[in-house]
Amino acid sequence: MSETKTSLNTAQRRAVAELMRVSPVADELGRRFAAAGHELHLVGGSVRDALLGRLGDDLDFCTDARPEQTLALVKGWADAIWTTGQEFGTIGLQRNGLRLEVTTYRAEAYDRVSRNPIVRYGTSLDEDLRRRDFTINAMAVSVPGHTFTDLYGGLDDLARRELRTPGTPQESFADDPLRMLRAARFAAQLRFAVAPEVRAAMVDMAADLSRITAERIRDEFVKLMCGADPVFGLRLLVETGLADQFLPELSGLKLEIDEHAQHKDVYEHTLTVVRNAIGLETDGPDFTLRFASLMHDIGKPATKAVGPDGRVSFHHHEVVGARMTKQRMQAMKFPKDVISDVTGLVALHLRFYGYGRGEWTDSAVRRYVTDAGPLLSRLHKLTRSDVTTRNRRKAANLAADYDALEERIARIEAEEDLARVRPDLDGNEIMRLLGLPPGPLVGKAWRHLKELRLERGPLTHEEAEAELRRWAEDNGV
């Protein structure tokens, strides 16, 4: 273990000085706690990120003060206070645009059966640091004194870019199995390697993840997917068996052969698509796009067929995959709107193929845009990302075809405002012209006119009235 409380070397001094320059609020808060006879330390991810030169606006502190004492110390000083985490020892506050969380020293205990920790307050910084997940998150800097504390070699591990646990990984993961998933998340976020003994424990204890609630797993997984290199983390999940505990469809792709690129299996193809999609992002991590890229081919194992000529096919795998994606996301307790967006992209990801054969009419383009709706921009990215062939001519042709489709969409949109495709008559006009009260028949007439709008483009008012009366006559209205 590294020395406990030591003078800072030159690199550490620079990092802490930068931290305090960015956040003088920390020293202000530290002086308030010291005046009341309490310790306060900047801790965990805040120290780690400061040493990595990537400190954000969220700062984490630990203290020997109890939550009610912390609350009394920050009242009148903080710009805002929230107490939603008070039962777990945490008081949140805001000061000068920074979000701060102050948590009482912990010595959490788990019964290793239930899904939630039993919060027990600790009595020292040393005890608090030992219960943290990884050594790189178990460093602290006192405020206002700036004493650096590194009991478990976190600084050395940070320099090696390696994830280790303060105690044995078996002890750490038995206390909270979610830490195994967190290891994969930090690997994805920080591009850090996982120490061999940590990886071995992840393999041996993967089944313990079943003790964790779906919501906690979901939240960690979202963070992993939004990391700098989610593919690294995803590989770790599959290789350790953790993916089988909550996302078995991912591991199931490894054995399938991709009919579009015979040189690689669907698993490798999928990871390439995820990386391609990340490369097309323009406004930071897009979980919906990334997860749709990950799930777009999960219907292939269930639809695999081998023809008389030996060729492999996966007919309708996008339909099956969308259904499987919905079921998996529901099990992971994702919000309904996120489920709808991801499954919509999975269902639509093959629609483009065939466009290059000249089979698409303007009507088909309108339907493509209308079916995608607000997902169109993401669908463009997913479809382009799905091209992973090494055949340069084929890749170039597909890219050119999609360029042509986007240009065609832009032309039709400019002419017809495709984003707002509606029938040429609204419900009120339908009721007035046919003498109908509100009800199902009005909806049927509206949908008929919308189909005509998609098929033929905008109609004049007279044409729309004539089509409506023709439909009414044909349907006995």
pLDDT digits over 272-284, tens only?
Answer: 999 999 999 988 9
**Tens digit of pLDDT for each residue in 419-473?**
556 666 778 888 888 888 888 888 888 888 877 777 777 778 788 888 888 888 8
Q: Residue 67: CB partners within 8 Å, gap ≥ 6?
A: 83, 86, 89, 90, 91, 104
What pLDDT is recorded for position 7?
44
pLDDT (0 to 100) of residue 4: 41
Contact between residue 453 and residue 461 where contact means Cβ atoms under 8 Å apart: no
Q: Answer yes or no: is pLDDT of 129 > 80.
A: yes
Domain 162-246 - what CATH class? Answer: mainly alpha
Of 157, 132, 134, 124, the C-alpha closest to 51 is 157
Report d(CA 63, CA 412) in Å as an integer.
62
**Dihedral over alpha carbons 66, 67, 70, 76 (to 10 degrees):** -150
Helix (H) or strand (E) holding 163: strand 162-163
Residue in 219, 214, 189, 183 with CA at minimum distance from that of residue 285: 189
Q: Is the pTM of this model over 0.85?
A: no
pLDDT at 61 over 90: yes
What is the crossing angle of helices 214-225 and 230-240, to 10°? 140
Q: What is the mean pLDDT of residues 178-187?
A: 96
Q: Are 287 and 298 in contact (CB under 8 A)?
A: no
Burial 299-311 (b: 16+ CB within 10 A, else e): bbbebbeeeeeee
pLDDT at 137 over 90: yes
Identify whether the C-beta of residue 170 lies closer than 8 Å to the C-beta of residue 38.
no
Second-level CATH architecture of 5-160:
2-Layer Sandwich (3.30)
pLDDT tens per residue across span 240-264:
999 999 999 999 998 655 444 444 5
Strands 193-194, 162-163: pairing kind: parallel
Angle between helices 287-295 and 336-348 (to 10 degrees): 50
